[in-house]
A = this chain, B = another copy of it.
Amino acid sequence: MKNMKITVAYDGTNYYGWQKQDGYRTVEGSILRAIDKVMHRDVRLATAGRTDKGVHAYGQVFNFQVADNYTEDNVRRGLNSFLTGDEILITKVEEVDDYFHSRFSAKGKHYRYILNTDRLMHPMYRNYKGNTIHSLDLEKMREGAKLLVGHHDFQSFTNSKPDEPINTMRTIDSLEIVQDGDDFIFDIKAESFLRNMVRIIVGTLHEVGRGKRDLVWLENAIKKADRTSAGPTISAAGLYLIEVYY
């Protein structure tokens, strides 16, 4: 058997997230069906980062074992030919050593959030950008971003269920914000993320950027380690898994 590392881009609009769930249209479910059609096999995928409903990816990564007669090229072509609807595109297939695991071997991930501030944002962006009617103070948000970078308890920045005790310590390696016309683009890199962490971070920085909250509030939101002390979970529409680093 060969271990294949697969990079995949998708438009998450019409999917109930990555993870296979019976009765729902999911990205993983569609890929498993394509694999079954190409290889007539039921397989298990190891995946770098499960994305939620409506979240998009440029460079999601998964891996699985294929029979020795498959090449990188025919895995890519075969899967793409059965991924109909053009919503999912396998962009790269690489044979990797047996020890490679898309999740456990990952050194980090890069997520991007696009937040548009045009009151008359064109309807074509409704599934691809978040939108706010408030004007945002870029410098204030950058000051807020500085407070979030580094090693912290991000308990306030996750919607994990409270009865599931998990380690909420995480390290944000970088959090950069640039403005491009009406768009504010947030680029966040970390070794790993908690559930909804990027969307809550952007939702929290939005509160600071619009002037509803200040930096002291944000500092306290981190310190308090309590979900209610941070900002809301912003919509999934503007979120992209850009790349997984190995």
Contact = CB atoms under 8 A, between A and B. Distances in A.
Question: Taking each of A56, A88, A91, A120, which has the highest tally of chain B beta carbons within 10 Å of its own beta carbon?
Answer: A120
**Interface bracket on A:** 10 to 19
Contact of A120 (B56, B89, B120, B126): B89
Contact of A91 (B56, B86, B88, B120): B120
A39 to B, nearest CB: 23
Interface string A1-38: 00000000111010000000000000000000000000
A11 B56 contact: no
A128 B123 contact: no
Contacts of A124: 11, 13, 56, 128
A161 interface: no
Contacts of A126: 11, 86-87
Nearest to A56: B124
Contact of A9 (B9, B87, B91, B120): B120
Nearest to A88: B123
Interface in A156-213: none
A86 B123 contact: yes
A131 to B, nearest CB: 9
A40 interface: no
Nearest to A89: B123
21 contacts: A9-B120, A9-B122, A9-B123, A10-B123, A11-B122, A11-B123, A11-B124, A11-B126, A13-B124, A56-B124, A58-B122, A86-B123, A86-B126, A87-B123, A87-B126, A88-B123, A89-B120, A89-B122, A89-B123, A91-B120, A124-B128
- 5 pairs of A and B residues whose beta carbons are closest in the complex: A11-B123, A11-B124, A86-B126, A87-B123, A91-B120
